Amino acid sequence: MRLILVLLFGVACIAHGAEADLLEPDKAFRFSARLKDARSIEVTYDIAPGYYLYRQQFKFSAAPAEAKLGPPQLPPGKMKKDEFFGEVETYRGNLTILVPLEVAEPKPSVVTLAAVSQGCADAGVCYVPHEQKARLQLAAGGTATGAPPEPFPAPERARAGADDARFASVFAEGFWVTIAKFFGAGLILAFTPCVLPMVPILSGVIVGGGGHVTKMRGFLLAALYVLGMALTYAVAGVAAGLSGAMLAAALQNPWVLGAFAAVFVALALAMFGLYELQLPVALQSSLANASNRMRGGQAAGVFAMGVLSALIVGPCVAAPLAGALLYISLSRDVVLGGSALFAMALGMGVPLLAVGASAGALVPRAGPWMETVKRFFGVLLLGLAIYIVSPLVPTAVHMGAWAVLLIVTAVFMRAIDPLPPNTHAFDRFSKGIGVIALVVGIAFAIGALSGGRDFLQPLAGLRAGAGFPQAGETPFQRVGSIAELEGRIATAGKPVMLDFYADWCVSCKEMERFTFTDERVRQRLGALVLLQADVTANSPEHIALLKRFRLFGPPGIVFFDAAGREIEGLRVIGFQPAHKFAAVLDEVLRFQRTASQ
């Protein structure tokens, strides 16, 4: 069965074949530079496998004229015999070159380094001498500090680790490196709350189908489920990338979310044993005769569940998804973009395959154990249902729902029943967990009733009278069209932050609730003009706005300097915790300072 995976990877390989594999020089020889100290520049080349650079062919120059470069310190290369030139030295892999720097008065604040390099590919081509530039910022007062490297000669751009840009830049490497990185990202995503609930769904489907479950059969079903999920990602990603549509909007509209929540509640109730999930009796009896066909039917069902699951995981994969979509829509390299998404989904599926393969072991088939496990999964499913609808309901309702779930669970865990003296250790442990759930649930219940809005501090509303500030409100000005946005930016006179928002956008709400309310973030936001585009209605103006910034939908935060130019590379896509977001804001403010010097 493992062959399926190998096969599908192979397919991607075939589809990607031949001459297209030659990298653009900027990707074959990834260049960056930083100030190592006040008197030297550290230049690094990340040379793609199968490519090399000539040691003798580097040329460095700097502008303005006050900046003078010394002879570059080139490390020894690998000797290569050349029938025409004799010996030539070449570099492969990572290369670091130190270039001495002397800056005369008046000291410029920015030095632009231009590096010319020459290299070839083992595939049998060379590149014409290639110039790459970096912009280095000198700190005031003579000592220099390194600035983020700038791969393009565009002085008005800065670069930092924005998530989508980072994921999009992953594509600059070779095909397999990209695939491997996305697979790895998928593995990490497998342990986010969105994917874990799939474990009970899957094992429910496998075990719940009844009959004899062998490891092989379990693995096959799990593989089908994962394939359904992965193919959905690849196809939906490519389609969305090409059309530039709001994928997230389509997946996160209230009806879809509500339907999924209902499915989960139904599944949860089945887990609690309220009813047996099975096919209608008539269908079942006709199928019973041909057991082969019933297997086929179940396989199709599992595959379909996988397809549906792909949609649920949306919120968790916002950043890599946006990166891949950005890449697909910019480069229109559908094959690589689609393969990357496919690999990511396979990565997310690895734990599910393990669950499937261990059909007999991880999911016990009989006895009271099985009941406990099923109930646990049932609670998880209910939690997931609440999580899914949380963007659609007021915070109080959301919190109240959690309170109900936690308290009822606690009661079933016998949190308030006295334990007999000779109780088994497991039951004591279980009661302990139950008591914790009870306490948290009661806190949520009180919070929901007293107007608390923060899950981390549900009781904050009770603190010292009415002293609780309106922390949730961030003073945004609304913009609804490109013209309006341009007008606001032109008259801002300060750096501008543009936040794309929609009512259905989970991470937007998380940003509002957890990040914008943070004291460090609020302080820094004070120095910016805050604009918000609410694209819930998804009108043509909204779509134009999103397109303008190559976004596929919220969440997305874009920054502009005081002159109204976008500070590229600083975009924030998806939820970012307060400390990271504060660092991004620092970057914006620092950029503004150097730009106005």
Partner 1 sequence: MKDSRRRWLAMAGVGALAAAAGYGVHLWWADGQADVPNAAAVEALLTAPLKDLEGGSKAIESWRGKVLVINFWATWCVPCRKEIPEFVKMQESHGVRGLQFVGIAFDQPQPVRDFARELGINYPLLMGGLDTMALMRESGNKAGVLPFTLVLDRKGKVARTHRGVLTEAALEGIVRALL
Residues that bind partner 1 (CB under 8 A): 3-4, 7-8, 10-12, 14-20, 22-25, 54, 57, 82, 84-85, 88, 118, 120-121, 123-130, 220, 292, 332-335
∠ Cα 259 265 271 (to 5°): 140
Residue 57 Cβ, how far from partner 1 at the closest point, in Å? 7
Given a contact cutoff of 8 angstroms between Cβ atoms, the answer to whether 381 and 201 are in contact is: yes
Closer CB to partner 1, 51 or 402, in the complex: 51
Q: Which of 516, 165, 510 is nearest to 330 (CA)?
A: 165
User: H/E element holding 383?
Assistant: helix 367-389
Task: CB nearer to partner 1: give 15 or 393.
Answer: 15
Q: How far is the CB of 244 from partner 1 (least distance, A)?
A: 17
Strand partners, 68: 102
For the bound state, the minimum distance from the C-beta of residue 115 to partner 1, rounded and expressed in Å, comes to 16
Based on CB atoms, which residue is closest to partner 1, 130 or 431? 130
Specify whether the CB–CB gap between 213 and 360 falls below 8 A.
yes
**DSSP string for 540-587:** HHHHHHHHHTT--SSSEEEEE-TTS-B-TT--B-S---HHHHHHHHHH
**Among candidate residues 55, 135, 52, the one with its CA nearest the CA of residue 97:** 55
Q: At what angle do helices 318-331 and 215-243 cross, to 10 degrees?
A: 50
Which residue number, 3 or 464, has a Cβ lying nearer to partner 1?
3
- Alpha carbon distance 470, 474 (integer Å): 9
- Smallest gap from Cβ 364 to partner 1, in A, equals 27
The CA–CA distances, whole Å, from 330 to 171, 459, 502, 574 equal: 12, 47, 24, 20
Sign of CA dihedral 400, 406, 409, 415: negative
Q: How far is the CB of 440 from partner 1 (least distance, A)?
A: 47
Report how far residue 195's alpha carbon sits from residue 310's, in angstroms, rounded to the nearest whole number: 9
Tell me if the bond preceding 554 is cis, omega within 30° of 0: no
Torsion, Cα 579 580 582 586, to 10 degrees, reads 130
What is d(CA 391, CA 471) in angstroms, rounded to the nearest whole number? 18
Cβ at position 499, least distance to partner 1 in Å: 35
Q: How far apart are CA 380 and CA 478, in angstroms?
A: 38
Judge whether 452 and 458 are in contact, CB under 8 Å. Answer: yes
Q: Which is nearer to partner 1, 82 or 102 (CB)?
A: 82
Closer CB to partner 1, 78 or 593, in the complex: 78
Q: CB 217 → partner 1: shortest distance, Å?
A: 10
Question: For the chain, what is the largest distance between any 2 Cα atoms, rounded to a whole number of angstroms?
Answer: 92
Give the residue with the Cβ less far from partner 1, 172 or 379.
172
What is the separation of C-alpha 107 from the centre of its chain, rounded to a whole number of angstroms?
A: 41
- Cβ proximity to partner 1: between 25 and 441 the closer is 25
Beta-carbon contacts of 466 under 8 Å, excluding residues fewer than 6 positions away, are: none
CB of 126 to partner 1, least distance (A): 4
What minimum distance in Å lies between the beta carbon of 268 and partner 1? 33
Cβ proximity to partner 1: between 77 and 146 the closer is 77
Comparing CB distances to partner 1, the nearer of 120 and 460 is: 120
- How would you label 150-162 residue by residue, b for 16+ Cβ within 10 Å and e otherwise? bbeeeeebbbbeb
- Nearer of residues 104 and 125 to partner 1, judged by Cβ: 125
| Shortest CB 182 distance to partner 1, Å | 17
21: its two tokens: 């594999």
Q: Rounded to the nearest whole angstrom, what is the least distance from the CB of residue 175 to partner 1 in the complex?
A: 13
Closest approach of Cβ 210 to partner 1, in Å? 18
Q: Smallest gap, in angstroms, from Cβ of residue 331 to partner 1?
A: 9
- The answer for residues whose C-beta is within 8 angstroms of residue 424's C-beta and 6 or more apart is none
Cβ closest to partner 1, residue 292 vs residue 596:
292
Residue number with CB closer to partner 1 (16 or 157): 16
